[in-house]
Amino acid sequence: MSTELFNLKGKIALVTGSTHGLGMAMAEGLGKAGATIIVNGNSSQLKIDDAVAYYEREGVTAVGYKFNVADEQQVIDAVTKIQSEQGPIDILVNNAGIIKRTPLEEMEVADFKEVIDIDLVSPFIMSKQVVKSMIARKQGKIINICSMMSELGRNTVGAYAAAKGGLKMLTQNMATEWAKHNIQVNGIGPGYFATSQTAPIRVDGHPFNEFILNRTPAAKWGDPNDLAGAAIFLSSKASDFVNGHILYVDGGILATIGKSVNEK
């Protein structure tokens, strides 16, 4: 019975931004738990096709759809098409996002708005469309990918932190409004993970690598696969009474003020 709590067989999971990185790791985990994965990206059809081929090699059933999550009409059209061709969406993971590293006093307003649109407005657009059939069926799971920047500030990521802080509160408000329909809305807040994007700074002697290793109680970067369990839990029956929660998968960073200068 305990294993069945995490079984996603027969479920359809739409994971935005699932052609690479952390989104791909979470989608793969959901797929290996039994879900059919709807792969989304917006850069190129080739990248989506390559991602689908990867999932299939890993034994995951996957279908790709190219659309811009920040464009409401594209989202309406895509969700309609997906549910017509594949069936109702049971699980939505709002993972797509961007970051622009610029000091606030130097940041262009257009760049600030772009980050807000993709990281905060698009989860609203996606959820608004997908939740309609969830409400009609009286069941559904929505996971918003937040960040430690939902809780903390850091130099040069003001727009990202503003969006992710907003996403935390949007998650709680979605849960407040939709829990009565047996829909669970939660978030995952990843810490610092070993991905292709962080590879250049994860080398011995690099100041940021040393900072992360010292700042994280687990004393290591996260493996993208470490997110799979959290995604499966929040997508499964095991979390049916969990709502409005942000699950931080960060090796303990948010649990501590950090080490003193001389502390080993």
- Distances in Å between the alpha carbon of 237 and those of 9, 90, 221, 240? 12, 12, 30, 5
Cβ atoms of 90 and 139 closer than 8 Å: yes
pLDDT in tens, 217-264: 999 999 999 999 999 999 999 999 999 999 999 999 999 998 876 776
Per the structure, how many domains does the chain have? 1
Q: Is residue 260 part of a domain?
A: no
pTM above 0.75, yes or no: yes
CA–CA separation, 76 vs 71, rounded Å? 9
Q: State which H helix or E strand residue 187 sits in.
A: strand 183-190
Which residues, at least 6 apart from 263, have a Cβ–Cβ distance to it below 8 Å? none
Q: Is residue 258 part of a domain?
A: no
- Distances in Å between the alpha carbon of 197 and those of 32, 93, 177, 224, 252? 25, 21, 36, 12, 22
CA–CA separation, 233 vs 10, rounded Å? 16
Tokens of 160: 């990202």
Q: Is residue 103 part of a domain?
A: yes
How many whole angstroms from its chain centre is CA 74?
A: 20
Q: Is residue 202 part of a domain?
A: no
Q: Is residue 36 part of a domain?
A: yes
- Distances in Å between the alpha carbon of 220 and those of 68, 188, 200, 253? 34, 19, 16, 11
Q: Is residue 54 part of a domain?
A: yes
Annotated catalytic residues are 160
Cβ atoms of 212 and 192 closer than 8 Å: yes
CATH number at residue 145: 3.40.50.720
Q: Is residue 201 part of a domain?
A: no
Q: Which domain holds residue 178?
A: 4-195+223-251
CB atoms within 10 A of CB 50: 15
Tens place of pLDDT per residue across the chain (264 aa):
568 999 999 999 999 999 999 999 999 999 999 999 999 999 999 999 999 999 999 999 999 999 999 999 999 999 999 999 999 999 999 999 999 999 999 999 999 999 999 999 999 999 999 999 999 999 999 999 999 999 999 999 999 999 999 999 999 999 999 999 999 999 999 999 998 878 888 999 999 999 999 999 999 999 999 999 999 999 999 999 999 999 999 999 999 998 876 776
pLDDT value at position 241? 98
Q: Please tell me the total number of residues recorded for the chain in this structure.
A: 264
Helices vs strands, H then E, count in the chain = 8, 7
Tokens of 7: 């079984």
pLDDT value at position 196? 84
Q: State which H helix or E strand residue 94 sits in.
A: strand 91-94
CA–CA separation, 92 vs 107, rounded Å? 32
How many whole angstroms from its chain centre is CA 136?
A: 25
Q: Is residue 161 part of a domain?
A: yes
